[in-house]
Amino acid sequence: MSQLAVGDVLERRYRIDHPIARGGMSTVYRCVDLRLSREVAAKVMDARFVDDPVFRDRFRREAQAMAQLKHPNLVDVYDFSSEDDDVYLVMELITGGTLRELLAERGPMPPHAATAVMRFVLTGLSVAHAKGMVHRDIKPDNVLINGDHSVKLGDFGLVRGISAAATNNEIIGTVAYLSPEQVDGSEISPASDVYSAGIVMFELLTGTTPFSGGADYAHAMARLEEDMPLASSRIDGIPPLFDELVATATRRDPEDRFTDAGEFLAALDDVAEELRLPSYTVPIPRNSAAHRATEVPTDTTGVIGATGVIPRGGDVADQGPTEVVDDATGVLPAAGQEPLEQTRVVGAAPVAPEPAPVQGPLEEIGADAPATQVSDEHTERGDAPPPVSNRSPGRLIVGLLMVAVLVAAVGLGGWWFGSGRYGEIPQVFGADRAAAVAQVEEAGFVSATRIVYHDEVPADQTVGTEPPGGTGLLPGEQVVVLVSQGQPTVPEIPGGVSVEDYRALAGERTLSVETGESVYSSDVPVGAVADASPAPGTPVPMNSTVTVAISQGPQPATVPEVEGQGLAEARRMLDEAGLNVGEVTEEFDDRIFGGNVVSVDPGPGTNLERGDRVDLVLSTAVRVPDLAGTSLDDAVDALEDEGFDVDTTRDRDAAGVDFDAVVGISPDPGTLLDPEEDMEVTVTVPGRIPAPNVVGLSVADAREVLEDAGLRISGASRRDDPDTVQSQNPAAGEDVSQRARIRVEHE
């Protein structure tokens, strides 16, 4: 389908008047239904998407949902066509504005005003719930206020059947109004709409939404972790019953909420009755896009000739009534978020004549009038101007039309340079990359992607957009889709990287760097990053701190304490420290056994480079051995072999039976002697005496004689034995050592 022009006729019935807004996939026109002579709105799919079955199905789904939901508090749908090149939806023309625009003008509402608005919203929503549908996008932008002060719920582009409302990985809806189950992927039910409606009521009472967050995802996740604040905590004067009402509607667990809009509405009515709230007429926004586009009379008679008639391809124009879609809504296939269609005004505004704007703050307007009745204050108009008698009716009509067109152009310009030309960036977080890009482009923007880190969103799913979802932006502007790559990992450490360069690498991953202890490294230059904790490659939460160790270069080799160690052990200890044995010299030291280390150069504790040499000084001292009990001959041989000069002596007082057994040595055993000087030692063996003659003496007398000589007796058991000694061994006169035993025979 080519671009429609003013005067074109869709299927010989709907004459195009002026385009209202253009979105990513369709354009909304103000039209005239030539059969019924009434103003309508036509949402016509862009030619680029006509052949796409996905887009055609979305159009069909919206038409089916709206066609089934006939109610004064729902935007009405009149006709739908999806054959050939004509894909469009014909619906009721709303001449007022949105609840969002009313809030922007007037701010928070008193309880009785908020009650009046919510009664309309919940009434319309309860009709959808009764039909088994979940709206999924309840927000002030989708609550429309008509020129007769009636309130209608619209935009059923995201509607799903309850049986088909299980979610996929995408989070679909508007961030500020999402229910917890829309965020975490739980089953969607009418209670999900109840939650969103509870947030709308909170906003009506306070002027703000309950949760905040710099990014879409953080904003959405807040409702999983926090209960709703009380409305009375944001603004004074809200009755406790309203706090309870909002709190019940917005419980985190769907089982604890009102089950559907009907139950919420009944509770609202109970509260209003108990508090005896006055009735209230909802005012029409004065600063809405519709009002900024000045009222333009529309010719509903068909007098203006059509510049082109556009029947369905190959069809003959049908003069019969157009069929209205009323197919039952079934289980609808999963789909991403619909592009928003309020993006660009391209012609005169579709505003029908409406009552004069309401004056004064909300709490002063129509307090005593019924909620469904328009007060006289809203409908009074000034007197009509006097007739002009000197002009023909035809010329008068032409003149009035010219004035109307001029005024419309001025008003439309105000709308165009205001909010009318802006589109709304779709909410795409939670969608995969391809789906998010498609949604942005479908909404009329140029897409780009940027990879970002996120602690919660899995890799390749979107975190949000820049600018954020819900922001108004000119069609054709760039919207950056932020794609998660999951949690950041600690970066690898390039060889020789400085702390500042590594900090820059970590900063690209949202991580900060602090320096810890310095470490030695034989591979990393001094001052470069040698290690990191957590280890490189470890996933960590965003904005974590990584501690890096700075290289001090190769670890110094410290000379170990090897004094007193043998040469072999000293060599092993130096090798373990990374050092080599240098020059080995000898000197006498009376503290260190021969062959053991006396000193090292450089001294113990000195830091050297690995591989350096350490000189050793070994002791030459010779230790006097302990030879006690060794035979005199063996002792002399052993000492002379070690270089000692040996002298012997006998000690007559020394004990011992073996005359040749060594009983002492001088210097004492263990004494260290210098082999270059005096090496004399004296070996002591027992002294010898002649054995006295005790034969013929009594045993008692023989004992006394031997003991007096320093000898001992053996062979006699009793000390006073009177027997006579018959013989002795050794015999009398033989040399014996001191303390030697003389064996006697007696009878």
Query: Does residue 360 belong to any structural domain of this protein?
Result: no
Q: Give the domain extent around 461.
A: 433-484
Query: Does residue 476 belong to any structural domain of this protein?
Result: yes
Q: Which residues are catalytic?
A: 137
Measured distance CA(178)–CA(218) in Å, rounded: 12
What are phi and psi for residue 681, nearest 5 degrees?
A: -130, 150
Q: Kindly state whether residues 679 and 697 are assigned to the same domain.
A: no
**Which tokens hold the place of 622?**
């010779």
What are phi and psi for residue 217, nearest 5 degrees?
A: -65, -45
Query: Does residue 292 belong to any structural domain of this protein?
Result: no
Q: Which residue has the tokens 């101007």?
A: 385
Give the pLDDT of residue 268.
Answer: 98
Give the pLDDT of residue 197.
Answer: 98
What are phi and psi for residue 12, nearest 5 degrees?
A: 60, 25
Closest Cα to residue 551, out of 528, 523, 532? 528
Query: Does residue 536 belong to any structural domain of this protein?
Result: yes
The CATH number covering residue 111 comes to 1.10.510.10
Query: Does residue 540 belong to any structural domain of this protein?
Result: yes
Q: Kindly state whether residues 150 and 206 are assigned to the same domain.
A: yes
Q: Kindly state whether residues 130 and 269 are assigned to the same domain.
A: yes
Cα–Cα distances (Å) from 565 to 442, 484, 560, 576, 614, in that order, read: 85, 64, 11, 15, 15
Give the pLDDT of residue 291.
Answer: 59
Q: Kindly state whether residues 536 and 591 are assigned to the same domain.
A: no
Q: Kindly state whether residues 268 and 124 are assigned to the same domain.
A: yes
Give the pLDDT of residue 359.
Answer: 32
Query: Does residue 493 belong to any structural domain of this protein?
Result: no
Measured distance CA(98)–CA(138) in Å, rounded: 13
Largest CA distance in the chain: 194
Query: Does residue 33 belong to any structural domain of this protein?
Result: yes
Residue segments in the chain with a per-residue pLDDT below the cut of 50: 163-169, 293-294, 301-401, 403-420
The CATH number covering residue 53 comes to 3.30.200.20
**Which tokens hold the place of 91?**
């619906």
Q: Which residue has the tokens 């309020």?
A: 342
Q: Which residue has the tokens 């926004």?
A: 285
Measured distance CA(566)–CA(616) in Å, rounded: 11
Q: Kindly state whether residues 673 and 530 are assigned to the same domain.
A: no
Output helix, strand, coil percentages for the chain, rounded to the nearest 5.
30, 25, 50
**Which tokens hold the place of 529?**
């990053």
Report how many domains make up the chain: 7
The CATH number covering residue 648 comes to 3.30.10
End-to-end Cα, the chain, rounded Å: 156
Q: Kindly state whether residues 639 and 714 are assigned to the same domain.
A: no
Domain stops at, among 266, 292, 315: 315
Strand order in the sheet with 512-519: 512-519, 545-551, 529-533
**Which tokens hold the place of 320?**
């019969």
Q: Kindly state whether residues 102 and 235 are assigned to the same domain.
A: yes
Measured distance CA(299)–CA(317) in Å, rounded: 22
User: Tens of pLDDT along 657-706?
Assistant: 566 788 889 999 989 988 888 788 998 887 777 889 999 999 999 999 99
Q: Cβ(40)–Cβ(16) under 8 Å?
A: no
The CATH number covering residue 696 comes to 3.30.10.20
- CA angle 442/446/452 to nearest 5° reads 100
| Share of residues in the chain with pLDDT > 70 (%) | 77
Number of other residues whose CB lies within 10 A of the CB of residue 316: 8
Q: Kindly state whether residues 674 and 722 are assigned to the same domain.
A: no
Q: Kindly state whether residues 187 and 260 are assigned to the same domain.
A: yes
Q: Cβ(673)–Cβ(638) under 8 Å?
A: no
Q: Kindly state whether residues 542 and 565 are assigned to the same domain.
A: no
β-bridge pairing 512-519 and 545-551 = parallel
Q: Which residue has the tokens 């090496």?
A: 679
Q: Kindly state whether residues 141 and 254 are assigned to the same domain.
A: yes
Measured distance CA(90)–CA(99) in Å, rounded: 23
Looking at the chain, the number of H-run helices and the number of E-run strands are 16, 35
Q: Please give the full DSSP string across 389-446, using - where no structure is assigned.
A: TTS-HHHHHHHHHHHHHHHHHHHHHHHIIIIITPEEPPP-TTSBHHHHHHHHHHTT-E
Give the pLDDT of residue 199.
Answer: 97
Query: Does residue 391 belong to any structural domain of this protein?
Result: no
> Which secondary structure element, helix H or strand E, spans residue 104, and what is its range?
helix 99-106
**Which tokens hold the place of 419?**
């909010």
